[in-house]
Amino acid sequence: MMSDLFFQLTIVDAADLLARRALSSVELTEAYLNRIAASDDRFNSFITVTPELALAQARAADDELARGMRRGPLHGVPVALKDLYDTAGIRTTAGSTFFADRVPDTDARAVTLLYQAGAVLLGKLNMHEWALGVTNINPHYGPSRNPWDTARITGGSSGGAAAALAAGLCLGALGSDTGGSIRIPASLCGIVGLKPTYGRISLQGVVPLSWNLDHAGPMARTVADAAILLQAIAGYDPDDPACANVPVDDLLATIDAGVAGWRIALADDSHFGQGDAEVLAAVHQAAAVFEELGARIERVDLVRGQEAAQMNALMTTSDAAAFHRDRLRDNPEKFGADVRARMERGAAFTSTEYILARRVQSEWRRQLERLFDVFDLLLTPATPITAPVIEGLDAIEAARQLTRCTAPFNLAGLPALVLPCGMSTTGLPIGLQLVAAPWREARVLCAGKAFESATPWHRLTPPGE
């Protein structure tokens, strides 16, 4: 196989080739490492590349496959990690200068599970500083750049992951999501991102932003690839107090079941129904696709969506200020300006305001639980706009706008999948968000796969890639 074809593979494709030994993990890993070295200066998606580790893992994967030992579909597949997942012996910066030389002794639980599944680690991905922002304009490691237009942001805070996937620099990635940090860059870069139910994936060894709102999750080029990644890392971890002991479905068993007979809600109100005309048109066209696939679409007004987004921001910044209280007191100048401003705002909220936000959280969650007593799925835009330009962007204002449709579902802790549903006239991806009831990751994946199979958007690649 010509190496330039490697970068059109999905995890599903690569897994098949590796299992049949039509391709070796070493060949695949070397191709990706070479591509990173040749082209990542355009995208700045990696903070740290790990060629020695990757090749050692690839050789080990090939040896096991030669002996007839296959750990599953990730065996020998090159992936990358947002740089807030602890990795033993590899620096984990969290996009900050405080952690610039921090080298953990142990791996995060999700990383351990990826290794157990046979995955190969290419390196650690760029991110918004401390994950507190959605532009990925990092003052310490430089901005990640959108492969569809390198003058534009990737979104964040998992922006390096989205850029690397869109540019063909890895086959899968793990990100984190507190107000949209997986789903926003997935939307702006035209890939797939899944925020699972709160507590579905262990956060042990993941540098926190908000103990109450953080979610770990997969990012990939296709829905099936996201399902494979999630299957590998989901499950109960007694060492993480936020991790829930809830059984994990066989996510691939029902992924092709379709949506015929489903009752699907389309959020169409003053909060979720505001955005660029092209974005809203693409989302409405996506709803029409689901109708063609046999689902029934009904427009709904999600009262309190705006309030939920605001309370998510209040809790996020307050929790971040608590985690960073010593650093914020002793070395405030070492934070980027936008991150410091948001943390200082978070520190200024009163306990009364925080308690009221938690009350809104409970009420909003109950409202959505009742919605899903009636509907199988909820559709919303992923982001109300396409990717803005980097130059002159106000990161704090961008966060308010870009988290509009994603943050409410962090507050509720519900599973939410983002995938491409169109392109703007300027050639930028448009994202669709699918939301389901708690623990129904299989449902959003099934719906996403049905939509993906009926549309061409996931097959498009950035110019020159």
Q: What angle do CA 421, 427, 433 make, to 5 degrees?
A: 25
Cα atoms found within 13 Å of the Cα of residue 9, Cβ hemisphere only: 27
> How, if at all, do strands 263-267 and 296-300 pair?
parallel
| Catalytically annotated residue among 24, 181, 202, 318 | 181
- Region of 247 (left: φ > 0; alpha: ψ -120 to 50; beta: rest) is beta
Query: Does the active-site annotation cover 157?
Result: yes
- The first and second tokens of residue 345, run together, are 């705002």
| Catalytically annotated residue among 24, 45, 82, 202 | 82
CB 66: neighbour CB atoms within 10 A?
A: 10
In whole angstroms, how far apart are CA 389 and each of 41, 55, 92? 18, 36, 28
**CA dist., res. 179 & res. 314, Å (int):** 11
**CA dist., res. 439 & res. 423, Å (int):** 31
| Catalytically annotated residue among 45, 157, 187, 210 | 157
Which one-letter DSSP state was computed for residue 456? S
**CA dist., res. 315 & res. 312, Å (int):** 5
Given a contact cutoff of 8 angstroms between Cβ atoms, the answer to whether 290 and 259 are in contact is yes
In whole angstroms, how far apart are CA 130 and each of 10, 296, 329, 342? 30, 41, 16, 12
**CA dist., res. 380 & res. 348, Å (int):** 32
In whole angstroms, how far apart are CA 264 and each of 59, 119, 390, 391? 46, 36, 36, 39
Packing angle, helices 51-66 and 11-19, rounded to 10: 50
**CA dist., res. 162 & res. 183, Å (int):** 9
**For tokens 């046999």, what's the residue?**
294
Query: Does the active-site annotation cover 45?
Result: no
Question: What order do you get walking across the sheet with 46-49 strand by strand?
Answer: 46-49, 120-125, 78-82, 172-177, 215-220, 192-195, 416-423, 429-435, 377-381, 263-267, 296-300
* CA trace torsion 199, 90, 181, 394 (10° rounding): 150
**CA dist., res. 432 & res. 252, Å (int):** 21
**CA dist., res. 371 & res. 303, Å (int):** 11
Query: Does the active-site annotation cover 96?
Result: no
**CA dist., res. 57 & res. 71, Å (int):** 13
Given a contact cutoff of 8 angstroms between Cβ atoms, the answer to whether 312 and 410 are in contact is yes
Catalogue the active-site residues.
82, 157, 181
